[in-house]
Amino acid sequence: MATPHPGIKLIIPVNSLNKPLTADFKKLTVTLIKTLGSAAVLNFGMAASNAADAIYAFTTTTPGELAFILIHGSITKALIELVGESVGERLAEARLEGDSVDEQLLSALSGKEVFIDKDFLDRPDELPVIEDIQCIVKQWLNDCGIKENDVESIVKRLPSYFGYALIQEWRKDTTRYDTIIKALDTPFSKAVERQWAWLEYGALLQRRVDECVFDETFSLSQIYVPLNAYYEDTVKDVSRPGQKIQRRVVIRLDEEIDGWLQNVDKEDAIRVISGGPGSGKSSFARMLAARLAKEGKKVLYVPLHKIDPAKDFVKEIGEFARDEGVLVQNPLEPDSPEPDLVIILDGLDELASQGKAAEKTARDFVREVEKTVERRTPRLRVLINGRELVVQENKLEFRGKRQILNLLPYYQHNKYAYHDPTGFLQNDLRDDWWKKYGSLKGNGYEAMPKELKREELDDITVQPLLNYLLVLSYTRGKLKFDQDTNLNSIYSDLVDAVYERGYEKHPYKPIRHMTGNNFISTWT
């Protein structure tokens, strides 16, 4: 006799007349297809919620049917949001056929045995049937004429969208889905709302790095290249006895932060990342937050423009957590049950832009953070991001060894100015970035084009944000990149490329009449 599966089998709900609701679900799937193909739909998030709510509304009490409804509705919501925001405009121009994909989506959930088990509650985005859904969506988008590389970028982002949609729905109606908890006989049956809140917020952090960037079909998580950094260290000068010198020690940023988080030392609970505009500070912070959340750690990602630095730091964090829909209870209160918490404060320079006494505001804020850390458990860690100038102005507050980590560009010509025992600087990260970009866009770049690897272009190519803007200029093909090309003509073409990419070809309704000259005037 076969051993029964230790989980819940998904079952299509049956109505009061004992008839499977297949026809009703087919109508909903066709609605999904029509929604994605409608040029009139501007808010795909709202459309996704409406379509999913129609599925969630089916009445049933059996665990298998509830699981089917929960997963089917979450997939519907995830697909509309993901595909809509990625290629919604292009699908509006395509001739969409819903019958085939409709049958396949239903078949993936009901045509074969699909089970959920205890692990599903921890990582819903790893449900095996999601791979089947990805294959169906991939074929459908290909049939709609979407480019292969764009399709690949989109379908790879589906799991995080699905995971977040499912946890959102679960938290909205925990009483209803308690049947599933009891059927699985899982420790989560004793879980409180707080645990589910952290789970939902973690899924949100992961989804955010999987959202489109720069009006592309790919996401930050797909294009991101891990960064190098350095810290300053004082050592003996071997050439001058009794003297000391300061050296810049190169590290891989993510490895350094991982090591810091694993080390329990209350005297080393705050780290600072310093870098110029467009150097990748916020991208690193968002990627780190998403990764830590996926690993099951409690992490808060706080853009500092969302809090008031003049008010009590602990209360402001509590307000932020509530506004994000994370927690009702402040995780920094003394009676908080979180023994191990990471807070990422992104944008110390944002505080400096909030008034005349900017420097004092930032310094007072940093001191308030330090006092909070001193009062808390040694497992609290705070990571602060800020521009170089603001960090330097507060350098006296950050005197710990390796406390300030300075971001390095994608490529460093003057390698001899650094102590690089691991040889990180030997790798030109621009090549890594261009290879990723080429794969995502189907351009076949294996490295950065040679005509762009000129020292006079380094100010642009070595910085993450400017490097991407240069790509827009380079790939549009209206400017010849040779020895006679100067930076002024390149920057002019960059502005034209941004306008063409984001406004001229995809005009937003409130500014659809904006001309190129008007666009430029708003920046000057």
pLDDT surpasses 70 at 396 = yes
What is the rounded CA–CA span in Å between residue 307 and residue 204? 20
Residues contacting 291, CB < 8 A, separation 6+: none
What is the rounded CA–CA span in Å between residue 499 and residue 122? 43
Query: Can you list the alpha helix ranges (DSSP code H) found in 115-177?
Result: 118-122, 129-143, 148-155, 158-172
β-bridge pairing 341-346 and 8-9: unpaired
Average pLDDT over residues 301-330: 88
β-bridge pairing 115-116 and 228-236: unpaired
Residues contacting 471, CB < 8 A, separation 6+: 437
Per-residue model confidence (pLDDT) at position 21? 53
Average pLDDT over residues 297-317: 92
pLDDT averaged over every residue in the chain: 82
Please name every residue paired with 60 in a beta bridge, in sequence order, or none if there are none: none
What is the rounded CA–CA span in Å between residue 172 and residue 382? 31
DSSP states along 491-508: HHHHHHHHHIIIIISS--
Cβ-count burial of 77 within 10 angstroms (0-12 exposed, 13-18 middle, 19+ buried)? buried
Say which residue, 40 or 135, is predicted with more confidence. Answer: 135
β-bridge pairing 404-407 and 341-346: unpaired
DSSP states along 380-406: EEEEEEE-HHHHHHTGGG--STT-EEE
Per-residue model confidence (pLDDT) at position 33? 60
pTM of the model: 0.86
Pair of tokens at residue 74: 């979450």
Domains of the chain by start residue, with CATH = 8-216 (no CATH), 228-424 (3.40.50.300), 429-521 (no CATH)
Per-residue model confidence (pLDDT) at position 190? 40
DSSP 8-state assignment for residue 263: S
The size of the chain, in residues, is 524
pLDDT surpasses 70 at 92 = no
What is the rounded CA–CA span in Å between residue 405 and residue 385? 10
DSSP states along 70-112: HHHHHHHHHHHHHHHHHHHHHHHTS---HHHHHHHHHHHHHTS
pLDDT surpasses 90 at 479 = no
Average pLDDT over residues 250-276: 94
CB atoms within 10 A of CB 372: 18
β-bridge pairing 270-274 and 380-386: parallel
Cα-flanking dihedrals φ and ψ of residue 141, to 5°?
-65, -35
* pLDDT digit string, tens, across residues 357-380: 667 788 889 999 999 998 886 679
Average pLDDT over residues 301-329: 89
* pLDDT digit string, tens, across residues 167-211: 988 888 888 888 888 888 655 444 457 778 888 899 999 999 999
DSSP states along 40-68: T---HHHHHHHHHHHHHT----SHHHHHH
Say which residue, 40 or 416, is predicted with more confidence. Answer: 416
